């Protein structure tokens, strides 16, 4: 794989750094390695999950959520993936229609949050340097994206409870994604989607099989959905997910893209394995 590798983190990694389960020294070493070997990117799904947590938490926990966003927005992290459907469209260099209500300036939104002194101030307005008026951060925009995904996830998997095991076709599934992303007409090469979405497909099959169990509560497993959405970024041949979920590679073991899922523990160990040049 030539070109710059795009490393990005899932939400659980960021939360573990904030809680101290991943030491600051280990985090710093991991980021230093990423910057030497590739680029540090941020997924809007990770941002949205963190801000969803902030929006649904007690105001007294504001600083905790703010610290998590500050960790995500580490020094030098100025590159942002777009939401999956638009990221794929950009890779394929095809036109697309973007919702005007969907967040696009992730860096500015993060800066507003980091300047805020309280959760309430995000609603009333945050005074930013060099700005003539206070700026509000619409947390509901980020929550809306997560909610839409969750509602679709719950609606789909709830219908599978008690259903017999079915065989799913990756060709049919990939074609459905093309249509949902409104890319079916502009990019008719189905094989590109089949190859690029193989990890996401394996994950969806795994979720569907779990949902067949009558004791499975879909509403308690919505985090699985975000994992599946993050896997869509592997459509980008330079994307690498750094995850805390040790089972994720096992879930998608049939996909060659599993090689581009790295555990945070493996990433932390890499700088230690680098030869000492002194």
DSSP 209-268: HHHTSTT--GGGGHHHHHHHHHHGGGGSTTEEEEES-TTHHHHTTTSGGGGGEEEHHHHH
pLDDT in tens, 229-250: 999 999 999 999 999 877 888 9
Contact of 252 with 203, CB cutoff 8 Å: yes
The residue with greater pLDDT, 221 or 34, is: 34
94-146 pLDDT, tens digit each: 888 887 767 778 888 899 999 999 999 998 999 988 888 899 988 877 777 77
Terminal Cα-to-Cα distance of the chain (whole angstroms): 30
Structure tokens at 25: 């020294």
Among 17-31, 51-65, 212-226, the minimum mean pLDDT is found in: 212-226
* Assessment of whether the complete model's pTM goes beyond 0.85: yes
Phi-psi group of 162: left, alpha or beta (phi > 0 → left; psi -120 to 50 → alpha; rest → beta) = left
Domain assignments of the chain as residue spans, ordered by start: 5-273
Q: Output 257 or 157, whichever has higher pLDDT.
A: 257
Helix (H, G, I), strand (E, B) or coil at 79: strand
Between CA 69 and CA 50 the distance in angstroms is 7
Q: What is the DSSP annotation of 141-178? A: HHHHHHHHHHHHHHHHHHTTTTPPP----HHHHHHHHH
Name 32's Cβ contacts closer than 8 Å, sequence gap at least 6: 271
Query: Which pLDDT belongs to residue 64?
Result: 96
Place of tokens 């990005």: 8
């Amino acid at each position: 794989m030539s070109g710059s590798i795009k490393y990005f983190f899932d939400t659980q990694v960021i939360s573990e750094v904030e809680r101290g389960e991943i030491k600051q020294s280990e985090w710093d070493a991991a980021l230093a390695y990423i910057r030497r070997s590739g680029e540090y990117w941020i997924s809007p799904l990770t941002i949205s999950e963190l801000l969803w947590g902030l929006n649904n938490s007690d105001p007294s926990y504001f600083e905790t959520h703010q610290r998590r966003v500050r960790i995500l927005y580490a020094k030098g992290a100025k590159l942002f993936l777009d939401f999956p459907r638009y990221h794929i469209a950009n890779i394929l260099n095809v036109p697309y229609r973007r919702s005007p209500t969907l967040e696009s300036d992730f860096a500015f939104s993060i800066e507003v949050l980091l300047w805020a002194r309280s959760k309430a101030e995000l609603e009333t307005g945050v005074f930013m340097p060099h700005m003539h008026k206070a700026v509000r951060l619409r947390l509901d925009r980020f929550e809306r994206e997560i909610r839409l995904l969750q509602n679709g996830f719950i609606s789909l998997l709830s219908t599978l409870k008690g259903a017999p095991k079915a065989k799913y076709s990756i060709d049919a599934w990939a074609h459905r994604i093309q249509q949902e992303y409104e890319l079916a007409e502009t990019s008719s090469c189905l094989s590109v989607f089949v190859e690029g979405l193989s990890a996401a497909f394996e994950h969806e099959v795994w979720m569907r099989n779990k949902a067949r169990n009558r004791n499975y509560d879909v509403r308690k497993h919505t985090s699985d959905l975000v994992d599946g959405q993050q896997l869509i970024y592997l459509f980008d041949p330079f994307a690498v997910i750094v995850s805390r979920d040790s089972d994720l590679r096992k879930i998608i073991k049939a996909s060659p893209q599993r090689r581009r899922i790295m555990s945070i523990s493996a990433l932390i160990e890499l700088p230690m394995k680098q030869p000492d040049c002194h």
